[in-house]
Amino acid sequence: MIIGKIVYILVVLLIFGFSILYIDNLAVAMLCACLMLPIFLAAILLIGSYKMKFIPNALGESFYRQDEIIYKIGIEKFFSLPIGYKFVLCVENKYTNETQFRKIMGIAFGKKQEITVKIKSEHCGHLKIYIKKAKAFDYLKIFGKSVNNGEICDVIVLPNIIEIEGTMVTMPTFDDEGNQYSKTKSGDDPSEIFNIRQFKDGDDPRRIHWNLSGRTDDYFVKEYGQPLMNSIVILIDNQISSTSMQDVLFDLVVSLSNFLLKNGVEHIVCKQDDDLSLNLSSITDEEELFETADGLLSMPLAKNPEKSILDDFLNSEYNRHSHLIFVTANESSVNNPLLRQQSIPVTAMVITDKIKENFQTEDNFRCFYINNDIQASLSGLEL
């Protein structure tokens, strides 16, 4: 716009010079026409941009990575007179703190016009799409007028769910602290009677059902119920250096969850909150899976590498599980002795860009090296 104004002023000066130096009717007429031109253009601008507004709309609220997000910007105005416009389309990814801009210029002809822009995000996160600096211009770009920008559109880019070709081998073991009880096995929870049977040698005398035994000639004992608990935990290590690895991690977590759900295994996803406290989410259905995926996008990257989530979790009261799946991008954490000394099966999934062979130790510790091809990396997974 500044350039247009400068050019116009130069032209006016030139014509003015000529009309002074060479007195001629035509030169004067030209000067008058040139001076009237901005008024004419301003009038066109005012008329053309009357009640002009931008109405942005993203087709959808959630997308997957590399999906095309179709963003339509409707331009409405009162008159059909074509008028120029310019605005800047901004897309921010809150998770990766990345912002991209695109200047869009055009001519709005007719009363309604719709512009379509396709946005692709390589990384997961919450995208904020909005218009700023929207202006209408005359044909020579001498005058400009601000126009209503429209609302901000929020879009979420979810991690991709990848089909994992694996099998569930070990079934969940049982713990004392569950709320549900096993129907096939007894436990030690006295609040629930699993079974009543005859006394055998070695049974705890405190479990004798005295009421029944008094009425019979035999001794009967009560078998207590065995409370059940979600016994697989996916622990997410947020020590990640690059956003691409972060994407792989999110994909991996979501895909694992999906795999477990498909196999009917309810599980827990554990991550760190902003205050570095542990956040455990139970996933029993798809809805909770997506909520967890959304929550993952709020997970901050680890700021204190020395205080890792692994240490927190293993030393916490939540460390009651049957199987631990530790997802990390930090290869060195695999050698954590606390992790290796767990009595329960531990599966470490290390996100890396190098080619490494998976391995398994005698003490039920397995390590998978995951690259961007998650499906191939976890081929033949057995949990």
For residues 115 and 278, which CB has a smaller minimum distance to another protein in the complex? Answer: 115
Q: Which member of 45, 369, 381, 383 binds another protein (CB under 8 A)?
A: 369
For residues 361 and 375, which CB has a smaller minimum distance to another protein in the complex? Answer: 375
* Cβ-Cβ contacts under 8 Å for 15 (sequence gap 6 or more): 27, 30, 31, 34
What is the spatial distance between Cα 136 and Cα 45, in angstroms, rounded to a whole number? Answer: 7
Region from 108-116, 208-216, 250-258, 310-318 binding another protein, contact rule CB under 8 A: 108-116
SS3 (DSSP) at 283: strand
* Cβ-Cβ contacts under 8 Å for 234 (sequence gap 6 or more): 253, 256, 257, 267, 268, 269, 270, 325, 327
The residue among 232, 231, 208 whose CA lies nearest residue 218 is 208
What is the spatial distance between Cα 370 and Cα 364, in angstroms, rounded to a whole number? Answer: 19
Q: Which member of 9, 20, 36, 105 binds another protein (CB under 8 A)?
A: 105
Give yes or no for residue 339 binding another protein (CB under 8 A).
Answer: no
Q: Which member of 16, 50, 109, 219 binds another protein (CB under 8 A)?
A: 109
For residues 102 and 307, which CB has a smaller minimum distance to another protein in the complex? Answer: 102
For residues 115 and 261, which CB has a smaller minimum distance to another protein in the complex? Answer: 115
* Cβ-Cβ contacts under 8 Å for 345 (sequence gap 6 or more): 170, 322, 323, 324, 364, 365, 366
For residues 26 and 196, which CB has a smaller minimum distance to another protein in the complex? Answer: 26
Region from 6-14, 49-57, 183-191, 332-340 binding another protein, contact rule CB under 8 A: 6-14
Positions 257 through 316 that interact with another protein (CB under 8 A): none
Smallest gap from residue 73 Cβ to another protein (A): 8
SS3 (DSSP) at 338: helix
User: What is the β-pairing status of strands 153-158 and 62-64?
Assistant: parallel
Task: Give DSSP secondary structure letters for 187-230.
Answer: ESEEEEEEEEEE--TT--GGGB-HHHHHHSSS-EEEEEEEEE--
For residues 107 and 338, which CB has a smaller minimum distance to another protein in the complex? Answer: 107
Measured from the Cβ of residue 95, the count of other Cβ atoms closer than 10 Å reads: 24
**C-alpha 333 chain-centroid distance:** 25
Give yes or no for residue 26 binding another protein (CB under 8 A).
Answer: yes
Strands of the sheet containing 220-228, edge to edge, are: 180-187, 220-228, 189-198
Positions 220 through 249 that interact with another protein (CB under 8 A): 242-245, 248
Give yes or no for residue 359 binding another protein (CB under 8 A).
Answer: no
**C-alpha 275 chain-centroid distance:** 19
Give yes or no for residue 38 binding another protein (CB under 8 A).
Answer: no
For residues 88 and 280, which CB has a smaller minimum distance to another protein in the complex? Answer: 88
Give yes or no for residue 16 binding another protein (CB under 8 A).
Answer: no
Region from 97-105, 167-175, 260-268, 304-312 binding another protein, contact rule CB under 8 A: 97-105
Positions 145 through 174 that interact with another protein (CB under 8 A): 160, 162
Position 285, amino acid: D
Smallest gap from residue 69 Cβ to another protein (A): 10
Measured from the Cβ of residue 51, the count of other Cβ atoms closer than 10 Å reads: 11
Region from 95-103, 173-181, 220-228, 252-260 binding another protein, contact rule CB under 8 A: 95-103
Give yes or no for residue 102 binding another protein (CB under 8 A).
Answer: yes
Please give the residue ranges that form the binding site for another protein (CB under 8 A): 3-4, 7, 11, 14-15, 18, 22, 24, 26-27, 30, 34, 72-73, 80, 82, 84, 89, 91, 93, 96, 98-102, 104-107, 109-110, 112-123, 127, 139-141, 160, 162, 242-245, 248, 353, 355, 369, 371-373, 376-377
